[in-house]
Amino acid sequence: MGTMIQGYGLEEADYRGKRFEGHPSDLKGNNDLLTLTKPGVIRDIHGAFLEAGSDIIETNTFNSTSIAQGDYGLESIVRELNLEGAKLACAMAGQAATPEKPRFAAGVLGPMNRTASMSPDVNDPGFRNVTFDQLAGSYTEAIGGLVDGGVHMLLVETVFDTLNCKAALYAISKYFEDHEVSLPVMISGTITDASGRTLSGQTPEAFWNSVAHANPISIGFNCALGAKELRQHIQELSRIAGVHVSAHPNAGLPNEFGEYDDSPEYMAKALLEFADSGFVNIVGGCCGSTPEHIAAIAKAV
């Protein structure tokens, strides 16, 4: 989603729209807000990925929590962001669905911009700028909007701090219990570098063991690495996880210009090898991925 939004070259006024013209904080870069101020852009992006062959599209809600939106002074519209983001994605998925090829909208819960297991201050390693309860409460508000908006599943994604993820999983479980609803849950972590660990220090096996209690329908990795670099970690996860495994790599690693170099053909070939090796059940793309990448992957896999 972010890669596609960047291609529109939107400016501050585009993010604000009429509704937020007088908002005191800068809003450029708050991509989730475009669901309200530029819904046509988000609709077109969803449509492009569906036309390319996506079975599952993600809501534009990566930062739609009160903690993340607090950076923009927009905590008060978090439920609306999630509700409208879900409605928009579900409507587009419904339009593209056929009896032969159903389409689904996954309600995205992003990692947040604060971490429960790491200090933001290297001089005070014991300090935390957020608590588990604060994270769970913020996720709960987002979950309510996504569920009420009609999403088919929830996706806790780009997990770099497993304690944040566990707050999201706790919030999901409690929300389901309190409201007597249930949806499939997908989890996708992030291996941050060549160490083969998440930012909070977990190996793929440790990550799976930490979240397996949530009984997700899938576990996987996305972001940070390209397909080539991600392969060994997906292989390890597939060896130990008793559920479906997903892989959504970046289109390579960023070059000196911050761009991604893996072509649709290269990415499709790499993910086909993942599938042929029996490592994955769900494949897609993250940063740098375009509808052309998804079309190539859908055709290959």
DSSP states of 18-80 as a string?
TTTTT-SS--TT-GGGHHHH-HHHHHHHHHHHHHHT-SEEE-S-TT-SHHHHGGGT-GGGHHH
Across 198-206, average pLDDT: 96
Number of compact structural domains in the chain? 1
Confidence at residue 259, expressed as pLDDT on a 0 to 100 scale:
85
- Residue 33 domain-assigned? no
Confidence at residue 10, expressed as pLDDT on a 0 to 100 scale:
98
- Is the pLDDT score of 133 beyond 90? yes
The alpha carbon torsion through 125, 193, 28, 37 (nearest 10 deg) reads: -110
Q: pTM of the predicted model, to two decimals? A: 0.96
- Residue 176 domain-assigned? yes
**Residue 218 is part of which domain span?**
48-300
What is the dihedral sign for C-alpha 93, 94, 95, 97?
positive
Q: Please give the single-letter amino acid code of residue 190.
A: T
Confidence at residue 255, expressed as pLDDT on a 0 to 100 scale:
86
Confidence at residue 256, expressed as pLDDT on a 0 to 100 scale:
81
Q: Is 281 in contact with 234 (CB distance < 8 Å)?
A: no
- Is the pLDDT score of 56 beyond 90? yes
Q: List the CATH number of the domain containing 111.
A: 3.20.20.330
- Residue 68 domain-assigned? yes
Nearest 5°: CA angle at 42, between 40 and 45?
A: 110
- Residue 28 domain-assigned? no
Percent of the chain with pLDDT over 90: 95
pLDDT, tens digit, for every residue of 235-286? 999 999 999 999 999 999 888 878 899 999 999 999 999 999 999 999 999 9
- Residue 38 domain-assigned? no
Q: Is 111 in contact with 161 (CB distance < 8 Å)?
A: yes
- Is the pLDDT score of 75 beyond 90? yes
